Structure 1
Amino acid sequence: MEPVSERYILYYWPTIQGRGEFVRLALEEAGVPYEDVARGREGMGPIERVLDRELELHAPFAPPVLRAGELLIGQTTNILQFLGARHGLAPRSLTARLWCNQLQLTIADIVAEAHDVHHPISVNSYYEDQKKEASARAKDFRSQRIPKFLGYFERVLDNNAGSGGYAASTKLTYVDLSLFQLVAGLRYAFPNTMARLQPQWPRLIALHDMVAARPRIAAYLKSKRRIPFNEDGIFRHYIELDEQV
């Protein structure tokens, strides 16, 4: 674990959890100081400035972006790989770190699909303008994609049985934090579907509960730093897109 003298700066939208929440969870678990800059006095100004870098060789495409000293790191999985190595949230061996990265990229895949349920045609159009298509996409997501992805993560946990309930190591990694967020987000967006299906994934649900009970995470979840789920983020709860009971 590397000593860190600087304060991290997280650039992400100030009113949603979104992809930035995966980064926030890692920072909170690591117990390192960071500034969620767009939630401060300047609002969106710092994000606009960090993205307006046409002459920057390594300019980020979109938030989340993390500043660590002279480093400016974009993409959720890339940021987590950096934080994991720096703060003991990833294994030491190359093979194990690549495995963590692979799992995180798979989490990113289902997160993107969860978003596209309510924006199946275009992210530039309102949900209300694509409700018919969203209904069809939601049906497939509920019946096929959620079981396929979460069933896979359950098998990953089963294959790592004896590790203390963790997904990729014998200790907590950023992957475990992200799986917690994935389950929490799907429970919010599809409560009826998850209530019916989640008994199939006991190890995954146990991991969610174990992460939620960790002291720093539990404190964060109760704090004002944790932005509530809402209908502007990735995981959105529209009654008509969930199973009806």
Structure 2
Amino acid sequence: MSYKLYYWPSIPGRGEFVRLALEDAGAEYVDVGRDQGATAVAQMIHNGAHFAPPILADEYESVSHVAHILAWISRPLELAPGDERDFRRMHQMQLTVTDFVGEIHDTHHPLGPSLYYDEQKEAAARRSAVFISDRLPKFLDYFERMLTDNPDSDEWAIGRRCTTLDLSLFQVMRGLRHAFPNALSANETPALNELTRRVARRRGIAAYLDSERCIDFNQDGIFRHYPELDGPNR
């Protein structure tokens, strides 16, 4: 199966969650934004039934929203648990990842994406303080518990093998280490840390991270490092 991924060419962003699944599985895909530019992505949105990227298409259909895309491709890419109940739980946790990513984004853009960061610095500082003291520990504790409580594996979040959820948690932890290194270090997350190391060693992921296809985190994406928004260095 060959896919076309539509996402903005200069940032990892939400498209990275989809890329990681495709790269881990060694799937054949075209990264349209990086091959043809942002205009091709904008045209796909204009012509189709999608509000925003990422959008993934095959020869039959196109699907948007990260959690929806990952649910769609997880089985053909062999990145889904075998049990149907576990599949639903995986999707449930993936939607929680979506909530987490939204809150991370809103630390630097609490008044909305149409304003520059410099236009909402005061609100961002207040939002980040609450995120660091309250929301970040709650999300991390939840995913840490899901990892340690999995009855089928002491390596993965759900079922007996790596799933798209594990790849997404890997990306979130990488992003948090870039955006909030001090705040993250203040939270004990041994299971998530080990998961991050385990995913990084997977053949497809390791090759991708070492390639020119992988774009570094930057100040235009979801995970942005503003020292004034991070917690104190401990």
Instruction: Give the TM-score, by structure 1 length.
Output: 0.92
Matched AA of 2:208: Y
**Equivalent residue for 1:84, pick from 66, 74, 83:** 74
Match of 1:238 in 2: 226
Structure 1 Cα separation of the partners of residues 60 and 51 of structure 2: 18
Deviation, structure 1 residue 50: 1.0
For the 8 Å contact 2:20–2:167, the answer to whether it is kept is: yes
For the 8 Å contact 2:152–2:158, the answer to whether it is kept is: no
Task: List gaps (5 residues or longer) in structure 2.
Answer: none
Q: Deviations over 1:176-232 (max 9, x none)?
A: 0000001000110001111222xx221111101100111110111111111100010
Match of 1:25 in 2: 20
Match of 1:173 in 2: 163
For the 8 Å contact 2:152–2:159, the answer to whether it is kept is: no
Pairing 1:38–2:33 present: yes
Listed as ranges, the matches of 1:195-214 within 5 Å are 195-197=185-187, 200-214=188-202
Matched AA of 2:111: I
Instruction: Report the secondary structure of 2:107's partner residue.
Output: helix
Instruction: Give the TM-score, by structure 2 length.
Output: 0.97
Task: List gaps (5 residues or longer) in structure 1.
Answer: none
Matched AA of 1:181: Q
User: Which deviates more, 171-180 or 160-169?
Assistant: 160-169
For the 8 Å contact 1:190–1:242, the answer to whether it is kept is: yes
How many residue pairs get aligned? The number is 233
Structure 2 Cα separation of the partners of residues 235 and 244 of structure 1: 18
Task: List structure 1 segments (4+ residues) > 2 angstroms apart after TM superposition.
Answer: none
Structure 1 Cα separation of the partners of residues 203 and 83 of structure 2: 27
Deviation, structure 1 residue 69: 1.1
For the 8 Å contact 1:164–1:171, the answer to whether it is kept is: no
Match of 1:109 in 2: 99
Instruction: Report the secondary structure of 1:39's partner residue.
Output: helix
Structure 1 Cα separation of the partners of residues 109 and 206 of structure 2: 32
